[in-house]
């Protein structure tokens, strides 16, 4: 059992007490809602700015951010499947309150709990956007926090899973940005091809 | 697996509809007349907002979506497909809607800048014809 199992037991014990709150948490912990909202920001940023120089800076960020999201997902997958990092079962598999919360509000995911893949990807998105627009990044960070909290509330993750996932996401996003600086001629070429096609 | 196929289709359609909406808001914000579906930016933005709401409403209003379904890679693939379809649809439809938009393109009107003065297909054909002329 995870070291923070008692905290998880307490948090998931709140489920089923306030129906409106449960509805909100059930909606927020969904696999699609917050990721799609975050990902919709990216095509918007691609086209948003009238000034070509500013637009190009943001288009770079739009290339870096999903790459960071993808690499952080890959990092978690490698940890789980290559290095077999899977220290504890999901809260809903180990704790009574969490099982009830998952049955009531969500479903029982069966892939490894640690580290949280959703937290890694959402915080990677926030970190990727942070390099170009801090206010927008703060908004994405808020979405990432809400998604993470909801997943703890619904018995899908322990808080420790979330913290580890967030750290991985931020770290990998920073690495991805550095990597893009090294391979800068490739994305530059990609952008110039898109520009010839009137898409960038 | 008809249920799963429906789920994927619904997810794809949600992304397609919502992305079409966000593209309209972004196009009106940046002044890309060639990408806009309406003449007035305000109408474009209202349409965009309604499309985003409609996309989510269509997906979440019809069924319980808290079920074991698409894995991360599948989710990403269908998201990309939805965005690509929305961009393609916007480029084609806006080109027909803005058929009469035929501003004169200058040298500095490269890339998306051209869509402030003309529609997408016209810009693409013009650059293709220019290249043909250059080759001759």
Q: What is the pLDDT of residues A151-191, one digit of tens each?
A: 999 999 999 999 999 999 999 999 999 999 999 999 999 99
Q: Is B46 on the interface with A (CB under 8 A)?
A: no
B105: number of Cβ within 10 Å: 18
Cα–Cα distances (Å) from A35 to A141, A193, B41, B75, B109, in that order, read 12, 29, 28, 10, 35
C-alpha distance from B30 to closest chain A C-alpha (Å): 4
C-alpha distance from A71 to closest chain B C-alpha (Å): 12
B14 interaction partners in chain A (CB closer than 8 Å): 32, 36
Q: Is A166 exposed, middle or buried (0-12, 13-18, 19+ CB in 10 A)?
A: buried
- Contact yes or no for B65 and A32 at CB 8 A: yes
Q: Is B35 on the interface with A (CB under 8 A)?
A: yes
- Contact yes or no for B114 and A106 at CB 8 A: no
Residue B132 tokens, joined = 């043909």
Smallest Cβ–Cβ distance between B114 and the set A26, A43, A198 belongs to A198
ipTM of the complex as predicted: 0.92
pLDDT at B133: 62
C-alpha distance from B19 to closest chain A C-alpha (Å): 6
Each residue of B26-36: pLDDT tens digit? 999 999 999 99
Q: Is the dihedral of CA A168, A174, A175, A180 positive or negative?
A: positive
Check whether A58 has a pLDDT greater than 90. Answer: yes
Cα angle: A57, vertex A62, A65; to 5 degrees: 120
pLDDT at A187: 97
Q: Which residue of B has its CA nearest to A34?
A: B56
Mean of pLDDT values over A138-155: 98
Identify the residue among B72, B81, B84, B85 best suited for mutation to test binding to A, counting A beta carbons within 10 A and taking the highest. B72
Question: What percent of chain B is predicted at pLDDT more than 70?
Answer: 93
Each residue of A65-79: pLDDT tens digit? 999 999 999 999 999
Could you give the CA distance from residue A182 to residue B119 in angstroms, rounded to a whole number?
36
pLDDT at B110: 86
Low-confidence ranges of chain B (pLDDT < 50): 1
Question: What percent of chain A is predicted at pLDDT more than 70?
Answer: 100
pLDDT at A159: 98
Residue B49 tokens, joined = 């907002």
Cα–Cα distances (Å) from A74 to A77, A80, A126, A145, in that order, read 5, 10, 17, 21
pLDDT at B127: 82
A196 interaction partners in chain B (CB closer than 8 Å): 111, 127
- Contact yes or no for A35 and B75 at CB 8 A: yes
């Amino acid at each position: 059992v995870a070291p923070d199992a008692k905290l998880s037991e307490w948090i998931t014990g709140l489920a089923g007490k306030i129906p409106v709150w449960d509805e909100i948490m059930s909606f927020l912990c969904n696999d699609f809602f917050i990721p799609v909202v975050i990902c919709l920001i990216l095509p918007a940023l691609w086209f948003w700015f009238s000034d070509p120089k500013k637009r190009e800076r943001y288009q770079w960020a739009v290339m870096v951010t999903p790459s960071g999201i993808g690499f952080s997902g890959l990092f978690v997958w490698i940890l789980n499947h290559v290095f077999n990092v899977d220290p504890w079962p999901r809260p809903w598999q180990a704790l009574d309150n969490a099982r009830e919360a998952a049955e009531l509000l969500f479903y029982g995911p069966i892939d490894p709990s640690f580290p949280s893949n959703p937290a890694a990807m959402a915080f990677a998105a926030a970190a990727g956007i942070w390099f170009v627009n801090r206010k927008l990044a703060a908004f994405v960070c808020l979405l990432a926090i809400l998604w993470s909290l909801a997943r703890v509330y619904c018995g899908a993750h322990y808080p420790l899973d979330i913290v580890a996932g967030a750290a991985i996401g931020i770290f990998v996003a920073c690495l991805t940005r550095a990597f893009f600086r090294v391979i800068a001629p490739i994305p530059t070429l990609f952008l110039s091809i898109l520009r010839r096609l009137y898409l960038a | 697996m008809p249920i799963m196929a429906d789920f994927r289709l619904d997810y794809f359609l949600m992304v397609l509809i919502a992305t079409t909406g966000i593209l309209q808001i972004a196009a009106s914000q940046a002044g890309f007349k060639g990408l806009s579906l309406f003449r007035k930016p305000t109408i474009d933005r209202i349409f965009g907002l309604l499309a985003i709401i409609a996309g989510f409403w269509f997906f979440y209003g019809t069924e319980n979506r808290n079920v074991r379904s698409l894995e991360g890679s599948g989710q990403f693939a269908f998201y990309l497909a939805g965005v690509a379809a929305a961009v393609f649809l916007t480029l084609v439809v806006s080109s027909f809607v803005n058929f009469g938009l035929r501003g004169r393109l200058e040298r500095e009107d490269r890339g998306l800048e051209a869509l402030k003065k003309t529609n997408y297909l016209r810009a693409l054909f013009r650059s293709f014809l220019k290249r043909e002329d250059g080759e001759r």
